[in-house]
């Protein structure tokens, strides 16, 4: 199982690498265009008074991955409870999150499960779209994502980030005589959903890589624990066997002596 997890993790890491050029280029365009846009004019940029929040909780479909799911769900639940659970809609990704929040009667709006094995960008787009719709329709005023960030093989960190409204530096920019088609504002309008989709894709990949890394480590621990156990038990067994043999020998010797 450790080997399987290791292979899957490598695959996820490769995909993370592959997604980087795309997401970097998109961020560049956004940074270039956004300072020029009036925040109020676009729904996806509007900063509203926060009355209701949505949480996207990215967990795994399966357990046996150490504290991977437990830590994540603990932090997510704590944040949700702090804000007030009746004012939070939850998008569950992975069976573990769905079961956890459904069982506790939280307000689960959507759950996406069973796609990790053949994870495609389509999945991220689908989730992205429904999350964006939920924000633009005005149902919630802020969207958070809680996921496991892949630091390295030995370390994963639960992170909670704000997905919407988009935050950016309102720094200065250099005007150029580039051509924009359609207008800058319309460009940004189509750009942001693209950006959020790739963001969602990154969250999925980070989480998947973390899950496999956590599983790899816990399976390695399980194997070495089992080996220790076997060693201890073998020793105990041998001791018991030796004791039995010794007793038997003593009895035979004792018997022989009594006869002689």
| CA–CA separation, 89 and 80 (whole Å) | 9
Contact 58, 97 (CB under 8 A): yes
- Distance, C-alpha 35 to centroid of its chain: 31
- Looking at the Cβ atoms of 80 and 132, the one nearer to other proteins is 132
* # chain residues binding other proteins, by CB under 8 A: 30
Tokens of 36: 């020029």
Rounded to the nearest whole angstrom, what is the least distance from the CB of residue 81 to other proteins in the complex? 29
By beta-carbon proximity to other proteins, the closer residue of 125 and 153 is 125
- The residue (of 32 and 52) whose beta carbon lies closer to other proteins is 32
CA distance 57 to 113: 12
176 binds other proteins (CB under 8 A): yes
Question: Residue 55 phi/psi, 5° resolution?
Answer: -120, 130
Restricting to residues 191-250, name those near other proteins by CB under 8 A.
Answer: 191, 194, 197-198, 201
Looking up tokens 């003593």 gives 250
Task: Select 152 or 176, whichever has its Cβ closest to other proteins.
Answer: 176
- Burial pattern 86-119, b for ≥16 Cβ within 10 A else e, equals eebbbbbbbbbbbbbbeeeebebbbbbbebbeeb
List the interface residues with other proteins, window 133-152 (CB under 8 A).
Answer: 133
- The 94-123 contact track toward other proteins, x by CB under 8 A, reads ---------------------------x--
Task: Quote the least distance from Cβ 54 to other proteins, whole Å.
Answer: 17
In the numeric block, which tokens belong to residue 204? 């999925």
Contact at 8 Å (CB) between 120 and 171? Answer: no
Of these, 182, 258, 259, 260, which contacts other proteins (CB under 8 A)?
Answer: 182
Is the CB of 186 or the CB of 251 nearer to other proteins? 186
Say how far apart CA 199 and CA 193 lie, in whole Å. Answer: 10
Least separation, in Å, of the C-beta of 1 and other proteins?
Answer: 27
Q: How far is the CB of 177 from other proteins (least distance, A)?
A: 8
Taking CB under 8 A as the binding criterion, the range among 3-11, 124-132, 143-151, 240-248 that sits at the site for other proteins is 124-132
**Closer residue to other proteins, CB minimum distance, 83 or 115:** 115
Q: How far is CA 164 from CA 136, 141, 219, in A?
A: 10, 8, 37
Rounded to 5°, the CA angle 94-99-102 comes to: 120
Give the binding site for other proteins (CB under 8 A): 15, 18-19, 21-23, 25-26, 29, 33, 121, 124-125, 129, 133, 176-182, 186-187, 190-191, 194, 197-198, 201
């Amino acid at each position: 199982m450790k080997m399987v997890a290791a292979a899957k993790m490598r695959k996820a890491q490769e995909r993370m690498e592959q997604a980087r050029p795309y997401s970097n280029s998109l961020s560049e365009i956004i940074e270039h265009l956004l300072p020029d846009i009036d925040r109020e004019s676009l729904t996806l940029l509007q900063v509203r008074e926060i009355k209701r929040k949505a949480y996207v909780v990215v967990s795994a479909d399966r357990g046996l991955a150490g504290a991977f799911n437990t830590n994540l769900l603990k932090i997510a639940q704590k944040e949700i409870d702090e804000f007030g659970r009746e004012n939070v809609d939850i998008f569950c990704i992975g069976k573990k999150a769905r079961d956890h929040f459904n069982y506790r009667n939280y307000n689960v709006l959507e759950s996406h499960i069973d796609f990790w094995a053949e994870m495609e960008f389509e999945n991220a787009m689908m989730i992205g779209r429904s999350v964006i719709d939920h924000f633009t329709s005005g149902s919630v005023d802020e969207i958070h994502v809680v996921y496991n960030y892949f630091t390295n093989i030995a370390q994963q960190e639960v992170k909670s980030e704000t997905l919407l409204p988009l935050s950016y530096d309102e720094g200065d920019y250099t005007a150029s005589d580039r051509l924009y088609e359609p207008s800058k504002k319309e460009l940004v309008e189509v750009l942001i959903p693209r950006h959020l989709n790739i963001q969602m894709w990154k969250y999925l990949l980070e989480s998947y890589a973390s899950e496999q890394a956590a599983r790899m480590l816990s399976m390695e621990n399980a194997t070495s624990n089992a080996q220790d156990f076997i060693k201890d038990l073998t020793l105990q067994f041998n001791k018991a066997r030796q004791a039995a043999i010794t007793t038997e020998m003593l009895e035979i010797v004792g018997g022989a002596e009594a006869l002689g």
